[in-house]
Amino acid sequence: MLRGRANALLIGAAAGIMALGGSLCAFADTVISDIRITFRDCYDTEAGAVLEPSVTGGEGYRVDGLAWSAEPGTWQPGQAVTAKVTLSPETGYSFADGALPPEAVSGAMLEEARRETDGRVTVEASYVPVVQLGKTKHAGWSDDAKTMAVWDSVPYATAYQIRLYRGEGEYVTTLTMGGTSVDLSHYMPGQASYYFEVRATSQNSADAAFRRNGEYVASKAVLVESGGKQAAGRWFRRNDGYCYMDESGAAVSDGWRYIQGIWYYFDHDGFAVTGWRQINGKWYYMDSERRMQTGWLELDGKRYFADSTGAVAVGWYQASPAEWYYFYEDGSMASDVVIDGYQLGADGKRQ
């Protein structure tokens, strides 16, 4: 009888263990093998301040901590800062072992990821701040002749775009410059009413990747009794090339010249150059009409990218906030290759 009772106890214990094992299996953690962190740019459309991005995780885990390598109030558009993101699994979830792929982070560049002893994951990523440029607080005229346009500076702007109008809205010209004043007398001949509008913008495409243009602010209209002198430069042909004589009658040479909205480069002999030209360590390309080229270039089966200053990109270059490319030392774009651990597609974009 004792033996029967002992057998019954053993059977009961075994049933209890089996039940417990079944319970453990039922409550095993769901393993998270696909971690995604998204950095989304945020813009201050009123004051033009640089804001922190929103940082979010995915299903089964949450962003439990976020620290920056620099105080957000000190950020500058286009200057990278490092984010340290702590991810915590929700109840019933745990992170899988293994390294994170670069594409696990979007809106920023993955630098490092590690699993902590408490089961959390710490991710470090490089984020580049962006900004919506604000509006100038004042736009007007400074001199007695009312041909000198002036405006207040806008934080984070690297250039300003000015559009001049005559009468009731007749467009005259557009200028882009780095300062906060410009003499428009060359564009204001004769007696007429003029006004301008100005907005904060970027000096080149590298700056523009992290700055949204501000809104235009218009000046009051003024009546110009006697306009300034109109630019009187002219092109002329010499031997097998083209040269340019400025309004003073002097031939242009040894440098850049902005003529009717287009940049040209003149050599030591005064000829406007064509083709490739290395200037101050950077490469530029002028077409057959001698005009400096910007943007994407398709030349001899290769792709190049020149920013708005005309300089050809070399190394890693961000053509837009979400698109990275790599360009070799000669400026040609890399494709279908792995560089610095990143796969580049057939279109050159980093995957």
**Residue 27: its pLDDT value, please?**
60
**pLDDT tens digits for 82-103?**
999 999 999 999 998 888 888 8
Q: Looking at per-residue confidence, does 127 or 148 come out higher? A: 127
**Residue 72: its pLDDT value, please?**
94
Other Cβ atoms within 10 Å of 18 Cβ, number = 10
Among 44-58, 107-121, 175-189, whose mean pLDDT is lowest? 175-189
**Above 60 in pLDDT, residue 229?**
no
Q: Looking at per-residue confidence, does 125 or 145 come out higher? A: 125
- Evaluate if pTM is beyond 0.95: no
**Above 50 in pLDDT, residue 227?**
no
**Residue 318: its pLDDT value, please?**
82
**Percent of residues, the chain, with pLDDT higher than 70:** 87
**Residue 105: its pLDDT value, please?**
94
**Residue 130: its pLDDT value, please?**
96
Other Cβ atoms within 10 Å of 323 Cβ, number = 13
Confidence of residue 343 (pLDDT cuts 50, 70, 90): very high
**Residue 144: its pLDDT value, please?**
67
Confidence of residue 190 (pLDDT cuts 50, 70, 90): low
**Residue 146: its pLDDT value, please?**
80
Q: Looking at per-residue confidence, does 203 or 123 come out higher? A: 123
**pLDDT tens digits for 250-298?**
888 888 887 776 888 999 899 999 999 998 888 999 999 999 998 899 9
**Residue 91: its pLDDT value, please?**
92
Token pair recorded at residue 70: 């620099």
**Residue 46: its pLDDT value, please?**
87
Other Cβ atoms within 10 Å of 228 Cβ, number = 16
Q: Looking at per-residue confidence, does 113 or 250 come out higher? A: 113
Other Cβ atoms within 10 Å of 264 Cβ, number = 22
Per-residue CA distances from 139 to 125, 142, 145, 150, 224 (Å): 41, 10, 16, 6, 17
* Spatial CA neighbour of 235 closest among 214, 262, 212, 208: 262
Other Cβ atoms within 10 Å of 133 Cβ, number = 23
37-40 and 54-56 strand pairing: antiparallel
pLDDT mean across residues, the chain = 85
**Residue 257: its pLDDT value, please?**
81
**Residue 145: its pLDDT value, please?**
64
**What is the spatial distance between Cα 72 and Cα 50, in angstroms, rounded to a whole number?**
8
Cβ neighbours for 16, distance < 8 A, ≥ 6 positions apart: none
**Residue 226: its pLDDT value, please?**
52
30-32 and 93-95 strand pairing: parallel
Q: Looking at per-residue confidence, does 81 or 33 come out higher? A: 81
**pLDDT tens digits for 10-59?**
444 444 444 444 444 446 789 998 899 999 999 998 889 999 999 999 99
**Residue 20: its pLDDT value, please?**
44
**Percent of residues, the chain, with pLDDT higher than 90:** 55
